[in-house]
Structure 1
């Protein structure tokens, strides 16, 4: 057995030799993996009983389903884990998992673990994992370049310059020496996206130019969008616009993904006027707004964020909201809400049921789309011959993908809105991630609400 397969002689032994002290990870750069309740209990026990870590890990792996163990490991490997003080546990947990009968070697997990160990200062253990992966995959060139790419991604998420540069070097060697066009292309993609994630879009653009001139690799939309996103995140708007123009010259269509990147970049830096200009451009080009569009806009609006965060009263209609917004924030929200195209993506209208699905929305985005949806419901139920559906459903989710499993902030927000509005929509007894009501009851409620709003104006 090699070192990574025997916990007594391999990973666990090396972990003990280097000390079992738990080292915190302070950099948080991405969303953490969802943690199951069983995994949460395990990590809580580790926090309170660090001295018994080895025994707790053994019992957890032996007594838990594969999915629970892997989800917990993924949570610990995430740069934004909610348990940074337990990051060092990822190594012995992985070592024990390799002994489970269900274990299957996975290059992505190894890459993420190697990046974590590198950041924690356990360079020898990190290199051991990388060396074993290279040895295992050296005859499978397509799989090997993916491992190198995942390793570069893992280091870039942690903003580890030394780790990323080493992985980037592996990929560069593959790009220059491989005889496979597919392998070259994959190495090229990973290098460009990695450099942009490391906030080095200028180097990524130089790589694109050099690869096209020297290797005949023409950039795809993926590489160019990565560079657009990289420049935008840094607030280098001149360069961002220049690359967007280059995309158009090359015949690439400006799609929702690319436009959202630009809108988000301007939003992060408070450039509301530019956001409005791009939202109008999306509308004029027929580029549909998406969940990401709503999230990008709402996340740059302090007033909206204060309302959904509970620090101020929620406006319960589009008119009331717009009256309370000023300056650039008001401009961008009005522009967003003026186009109801988002409902084509999130709403289903059928005779039996009208359903709006809020999965994927941040709090602010969910709030805005509920207001748009209510306006559209009123329009269809009281102004058009759409018929009254038998049932109306708002899907918020159970919080299975929330930072804490089972806690859906969107569900809490929607419930608060429905209660304040006197809505007939109530939590579904069969699925508490949904709000349901009879269609006729919703029609009557909207009619009464509109009358009350008109009377107060």
Structure 2
């Protein structure tokens, strides 16, 4: 369908009052969004920085719009659309004048997703009349019924993502009121029935309407369209988030009836729902089923499961004096002290799988490296214990051994990087020779000979076998000595590296 017939020539322009309401605060809040989007869209670092400087200097909405028009007029289509998408994701008011500038570009082609996003943002910021005008104008110029149906699906997703569920349900009602050929894709210009139902299922799941989404899934199959594992996963996750685990399990089981093999994505969805409910028994059953089907746990699954193990989470956060320093000690302590009987079995099942460790560990001729990026503090703790077992397995060590824990740039918590702090604490308590690299403060490193000597020694938690009826003052003082020794070791290591 030609672009000229599928879209209004330009989006409705925001009113003068709306322009006045765009304050400098909105301009400043958009700077970081535009910076990320422009870099992702192919803009050079210098032009990106120049754009941010110009926006920071603007004091009126009119000045900001002039900067935006200049950016859209000089940058590529990819860069401009990436910036628009980022502004819409962040629900930034500047997305409205940005979209108006995009519609005036010579390369402009109408996009259902962008139009729906702008309409939802207009509604959310008080421009209901402008929003309805944009929706009506776009729908009126779409001549193909299946394209109108897809537009309604995008409107449902955009409005529901901004909490406008009542308006989203209005679009759902209009979608259901369309003639059956429009939804099945058998009308004029049809062929998009499968896409329509995929978009409908996604939008309904975003709104939390799991039963309606499942009904759309059945309808999709009855019309001869073939859903994939993603659609089943969306419906299952929607049930799981609502705590309806029996329905979630039923949807996952129905995948085999549709001839779809259970994959990693669907398996992760089930684990995430079980972990949210802290149902360790079902997590254990599911992990065993995954092993039987040869579906290896992923990093996401590792995080889901271990973050739901409350006892392990507490250990990793507190770093108490009786912290287990080996995987065997960890399982033993969980069996004796965890209030959840299945927690130890869940951890042991994860430890038995090597897929996550194999992906996080790089073993080359020159170095064996454990990369802790992407792991939570709890997962990093368990993975390190698993890693130590692996390097003690008798395989010849390369010249250097290192643990990459980062410096916390991607962490949501400010201050001392928690993963690095954990890695230092655990390794120091085991007598490990790994120390912070002088060149990279997010990397612990040691030479082969020292590591081999370390691995031949045995270490245990000093208070693991002691009774738990100690006085609180004594238990509070116990962690002081290991931390003091670790700090002294770091200072000595830094002194040696500088003197060399």
Whether TM-score is above 0.5 comes out as yes
Match of 2:251 among 243, 257, 263: 243
CA distance in 1, matches of 2:118, 2:87: 9
- Is 1:318 the counterpart of 2:327 in the alignment? yes
The 5-angstrom pairing of residues 306-345 of structure 1 reads: 306-309=314-317, 315-322=324-331, 323=333, 326-328=338-340, 329-345=343-359
Contact 1:428 1:434 in 2 (8 A): yes
| 1:300 shift after superposition | 1.7
| 1:288 shift after superposition | 0.5
- Relative to structure 1, the CA distance from residue 135 to residue 286 in structure 2 (aligned partners, 3 Å threshold; closer, same or farther) is same
What is aligned with 1:390?
A: 399
Contact 2:146 2:183 in 1 (8 A): no
Task: Please state whether the residue corresponding to 1:327 is helix, strand or coil.
Answer: coil
When Rg is computed on C-alpha atoms for both structures, the one with the higher figure is 2
| 1:273 shift after superposition | 0.9
CA distance in 2, matches of 1:92, 1:101: 17
What is aligned with 2:124?
A: 119
Greater shift, 346-355 or 102-111, is seen at 102-111
Deviations 1:23-46 (A, max 9, x none): 99xxxxxxx999699999x99x99
Contact 2:69 2:101 in 1 (8 A): yes
- Relative to structure 1, the CA distance from residue 418 to residue 209 in structure 2 (aligned partners, 3 Å threshold; closer, same or farther) is same
Contact 1:23 1:88 in 2 (8 A): no
- Relative to structure 1, the CA distance from residue 270 to residue 121 in structure 2 (aligned partners, 3 Å threshold; closer, same or farther) is farther
The 5-angstrom pairing of residues 201-350 of structure 1 reads: 201-213=210-222, 215-309=223-317, 315-322=324-331, 323=333, 326-328=338-340, 329-350=343-364
CA distance in 1, matches of 2:65, 2:447: 50
The 5-angstrom pairing of residues 58-457 of structure 1 reads: 77-78=88-89, 87-92=92-97, 108-130=113-135, 138=142, 149-168=153-172, 173=178, 174-176=182-184, 179=187, 182-213=191-222, 215-309=223-317, 315-322=324-331, 323=333, 326-328=338-340, 329-379=343-393, 383=394, 386-396=395-405, 412-422=418-428, 423-427=432-436, 434-448=443-457, 451-453=458-460
CA distance in 1, matches of 2:115, 2:407: 31
CA distance in 1, matches of 2:190, 2:438: 55
- Relative to structure 1, the CA distance from residue 177 to residue 272 in structure 2 (aligned partners, 3 Å threshold; closer, same or farther) is same
Contact 1:145 1:186 in 2 (8 A): no
TM-score (normalised: structure 2):
0.67
Deviations 1:131-158 (A, max 9, x none): 676688x479998776655443333433
Deviations 1:172-216 (A, max 9, x none): 544245546652111111111221232211111212223333x22
- Relative to structure 1, the CA distance from residue 100 to residue 191 in structure 2 (aligned partners, 3 Å threshold; closer, same or farther) is closer
Contact 1:367 1:414 in 2 (8 A): no
CA distance in 2, matches of 1:439, 1:341: 25
What is aligned with 2:473?
A: none
TM-score (normalised: structure 1):
0.72
- Relative to structure 1, the CA distance from residue 166 to residue 311 in structure 2 (aligned partners, 3 Å threshold; closer, same or farther) is farther
Can you give the 5+ residue segments of structure 2 that lack an aligned partner in the other structure? Answer: 1-6, 27-32, 40-44, 466-500
| 1:433 shift after superposition | 5.1
Greater shift, 189-198 or 111-120, is seen at 111-120
| 1:388 shift after superposition | 1.4
Greater shift, 249-258 or 274-283, is seen at 249-258
Task: Please state whether the residue corresponding to 2:375 is helix, strand or coil.
Answer: coil
Can you give the 5+ residue segments of structure 1 that lack an aligned partner in the other structure? Answer: 25-31
